[in-house]
Structure 1
Amino acid sequence: MTSKQLLCLTMGTLDAGAALGVAAIDFIVTAAHDPAHARALLRERPMPVGAIVLDRAVPDGRLRGDLDAFLREHWWMRWVALCRPAALEEPGVRRLIHDYCIDFHTLPADPVRLRYTLGHAHGIAALHDSDPGAGLHTLRLTGNSAPIARLRQQLLKVAAADAPVLIWGESGTGKELAARAVHENSARAAGPFVPINCGAIPASLVQSELFGHERGAFTGAGKARHGLIESAADGSVFLDEIGDLPLEMQANLLRFLQEKTIHRLGGTRPLPVDVRVIAASHVRLQDAVARGAFREDLYYRLHVLTLEMPALRERRDDVVALAETFFRDHARERSAHVKGFTGAALEALRAHHWPGNVRELHNRVRRAAVMAEGRLITPQDLGLSEADAAPAAALHGARKEAERQAIEAGLGAGKSITHVARELGVSRMTLYRLIAKHSIVVPARKRTS
């Protein structure tokens, strides 16, 4: 029996077998009677190819509604339309075929030509690098590069514990995504996950926002109010950009970590709160401690379990998978005629240095999906230059070679891992990752220093 899967969505009275005729012999056909039914079937078993049967007039309103939304969601499938000749006179049918289908046949379909068309559609689907319908989000972190694979392993280990977590990474690397992954894979997953941007709260309101207040604590406090930490009880609180927290509030947070109790503003008694604290910063807190901008005792309270988010330039093998994921995520808002990326666009994405990391990639893809004029996104749609792709790739190679030489020079001079990391301005964890990336052999005496 053939393993070719085919979804047949019939928008009328004709059944799938009658519409496909002998062409159905070559396929395992799954029939759906409306978009909602088809959507449910595809959730159970993704299929790369579909046939849409329009054996009667379909009102424009319906084409713009359920069917249009369904096809937009499943843009990655290869669709073939089968319709009555008269249906081609309807503007809505013509637009549907133009926007979503790779080919169409008039009913009754010629069996030889239809078998060829469906077989060709399966061949095109097989050439596609990845199947979005199969799911790309492991721990909701897309990619299969070595840095992201290591991060997934570390996340699962960290999630299994219940100690504070400190996440470091450049802006746009996905620190909140990692924090959510820790929460969702922990024993606290059923509890709330409360994200707090410490840098976005006015200094005069930090105390009240984090710890809450009692009635009458200040002018306008007509009733008691739970703080954000208290609202995360039995779950996790994510303190993003914790380095921006005022020093006086750092003392209160330290007290909470030590005693597991909070004091509301204007309150006279401690309130026990069971919350796991996950903190993140785009600046290295040990440097902030050295400058006197962050409490050393709080730093060591938080520095129990640590995660370091790799920059996108360190995981270039993931760029295409991320771009395709973002393209799919915004299927509802992109132009219906836009089907994917040109080869030149993918090369330009791989070559770009990504100073804004994953956030920059997400924004470029989202904007291009809406604004692109053609059926495929070009480097220009992404705001990237096709001509710069090759020089940028060469620059990336030169950068990698300089990186490797700098590490080998430091280790060759008899310096310890700690010393070399300090000279290069990176953490020990990052240095070990770079050593593995470049396959550098570290002598035993360096490894144990």
Structure 2
Amino acid sequence: MPDERGRILIVEDDPTTAGTLSQRLRIEGYGVEVATGAIDAAASLERRVPDLLLSDLHLPDGSGEELFLSQRSRLAGVPVLVMTAYAGIDQAIRLMKAGADDFLVKPVETQDLLGRIAALMGRHMVAPDAAALGVSGAIRRVESLLRRAAPSDCPVLLMGETGTGKEVAAKLLHGLSPRSTAPFLAVNCAAIPADLAESEFFGHERGAFTGAATRRHGCAERAGAGTLFLDEVAELSPGLQAKLLRLLEAREYTRVGGSGSLPFHARVVAATNADLDQRVREGLFREDLLYRLDVIRVEIPPLRTRREDIVPLARRFLAGAAPAAARGIRGFDSRAERALEEADWHGNARELRNRVERAAALADGPWIGVDDIFGGAVFTGTTPNDCVPTLAEAVTEAERRAVTAALAAASGEVEVAAGILGVGRSTLFEKIRKLGLRPSNEA
């Protein structure tokens, strides 16, 4: 594969330099995309986040520094290597202080460049055979960041669209940490009634308010020395934001109606699909609380930007779907897998799981097709014809459905099924073998 070692975005306006670099990197096994300026690079980053950014500092429509600063949230965890002439060294150093990883002085020496890229990629991306979250470079980079963050006690802020798997990432972080044997306690901040929020977080003493018949332990106490996962943290009320800030700074809290302080031992991991920086600017979220939560920020990329993960995820969801195992479903046909890869998945992994489980429950044969997944709805891939099969695929799919139906009607008896289909017994056996089917009466 041309991008088996990861994908690199080169931002370079000189065609000779860009061509030489991209050719050599492809030879080394990297996938390469070239942007000729800051605007082109920003558009590329919006389409797909690379595994490494290699950028010249001086661009025709801006600078590498401006590009990095404007895309810093999208580039979270992405190794950034800048190239500059001697006159730009001060700017390169300033950029490194802002979060870039390394810089090279032009003209770039090829072996030096390859060595630095390999070192940065190795540090920022978990190996494919050790990956737990997915196979794409983007998600392996996220996992690598989680693995590096796991041993510390620093708060972690997980950001990403709804359904991208932020809680899955939080559980992986907890499982990799020294706290793995202690509780992992998830709290949906958006689902807590405002009048019960303080009690839910910090607990209450008996008689603290009407209806408080017994002492209640809040989630800060129940998390113990484990991980307290605050999902949808952007939805906290202003009053609770202030109390959460004190919890993080003082590492202590007081139960509602209580008089003494209790120690707080858990690590806090927060998650949101909101733009917290924008919420701060609008006065809806405390800036000081954001500073406390955002010690290590991890961006979970949407599923549509890491299409290599879609089919493996779908297979994993199918393997876990009880109806699939009970009904002998063997997997997705080739057309369905292509449709899965090309769908937009605005609901991300959560939507994918929903569709796979629905298909597992309703599919009428051992192979799940496009209609089983999308229910006859218009497919939302990149073009209207994305799911039009080739003639060979259509013939194969039609044969699979016909043979499956005949075997079902014949209770798995191949000779009877062959009579239904009007073919010889040996011909049907050969079709069954080629299609990967199995008679239902076969042990």
TM-score bucket of the superposed structures, by smaller chain: 0.5 to 0.7
The equivalent of 2:397 in structure 1 is: none
**Equivalent position to 2:256, from 252, 259, 265:** 265
Structure 2: stretches of 5+ with no match in the other structure: 1-127, 387-443
Asked which structure has the greater RCO (Cα within 8 Å, sep 6+), the reply is 1
Percent identity (aligned) = 45
The residue number in structure 2 matching 1:324 is 315
* Residues 392/198 of structure 1: CA separation in 2 closer, same or farther (3 Å cut): same
Partner letter of residue 236 of structure 1? Answer: T
CA distance in 2, matches of 1:188, 1:357: 29
Deviations 1:196-229 (A, max 9, x none): 0000011110000010001110111112111011
Separation in 2, partners of 1:331, 1:220: 42
Q: Distance in 1 between matches of 2:348 and 2:232?
A: 17
| Aligned residue in 2 for 1:150 | 141
- Specify whether residues 379 and 184 from structure 1 end up closer, same or farther in structure 2 by C-alpha distance, changes over 3 A only: same
C-alpha distance in structure 2 between counterparts of 1:298 and 1:311, whole Å? 26
- Structure-2 separation of matches of 1:139 and 1:231: 31
CA contact (8 A) 2:343 2:381 kept: no
Q: Which amino acid aligns with 1:351?
A: E
Measure how far apart 1:388 and its partner are: 4.8
Paired AA for residue 323 in structure 1: A
Cα pair distance change 1:388/1:218, threshold 3 Å: closer
- Deviation for aligned residue 1:331: 3.9
Pick from 160, 180, 185: which aligns with 1:169? 160
Does structure 2 conserve the Cα–Cα contact (< 8 Å) formed by 1:211 and 1:262? yes
1:69-91 Cα deviation digits (max 9, x unpaired) = xxxxxxxxxxxxxxxxxxxxxxx
| One-letter amino acid matched to 2:162 | S
**1:302-360 CA distances to partner (integer Å, 9 max, x unpaired)?**
11011100100011011111111111011456551322111110111011011000001
Cα 1:390–1:292 shift into 2, 3 Å: closer
TM-score, with normalisation over the residues of structure 2?
0.56
Which of 356, 360, 364 is residue 355 of structure 2 equivalent to? 364
SS in 2 for 1:392: coil
What corresponds to 1:353 in structure 2? 344
- Partner residue in 1 for 2:150: 159
Contact 2:131 / 2:140 at 8 angstroms: preserved in 1? no
Q: Does 1:274 align with 2:265?
A: yes
Task: Classify 1:389/1:202 alpha carbon distance in 2 versus 1 (closer, same or farther; 3 Å).
Answer: closer
Task: Give secondary structure in 1 for the equivalent of 2:328.
Answer: coil
**How well do the aligned residues superpose, as a CA RMSD in angstroms?**
2.2
Q: How big is the shift at 1:139?
A: 6.0
- Give the distance between the partners of 2:328 and 2:272, measured in 1 at CA: 40
Aligned to 2:269, the other structure's residue is in SS state strand
Conserved? CA contact 1:351–1:392, under 8 Å: no
Q: 2:234 aligns with which of 243, 257, 260?
A: 243
Distance 1:280 1:306, change over 3 A: same
Q: Note if contact 2:157-2:297 (Cα within 8 Å) is conserved in structure 1.
A: yes
CA contact (8 A) 2:318 2:324 kept: no
After superposition, what is the alpha-carbon deviation per residue over 1:148-187, rounded to whole angstroms, capped at 9, x for unaligned?
A: 1101110101112111110100000000000111111011
Q: Alignment partner of 1:264: what SS?
A: coil
Question: Residue 429 of structure 2 aligns with which residue?
Answer: none
Relative distance call for 1:380 and 1:332 in structure 2 (3 A) is: closer
Q: Is 1:186 the counterpart of 2:184 in the alignment?
A: no
Cα distance change of structure 1 residues 350 and 162 upon mapping to structure 2, 3 Å threshold: same
Matched residue pairs, number?
A: 260
Find the counterpart in structure 2 of residue 314 from structure 1: 305
- Aligned counterpart, 2:15: none
Aligned amino acid, residue 258 of structure 1: E
* Secondary structure of the structure 2 residue equivalent to 1:277: strand
For 1:307, what is the secondary structure of its paired residue?
A: strand
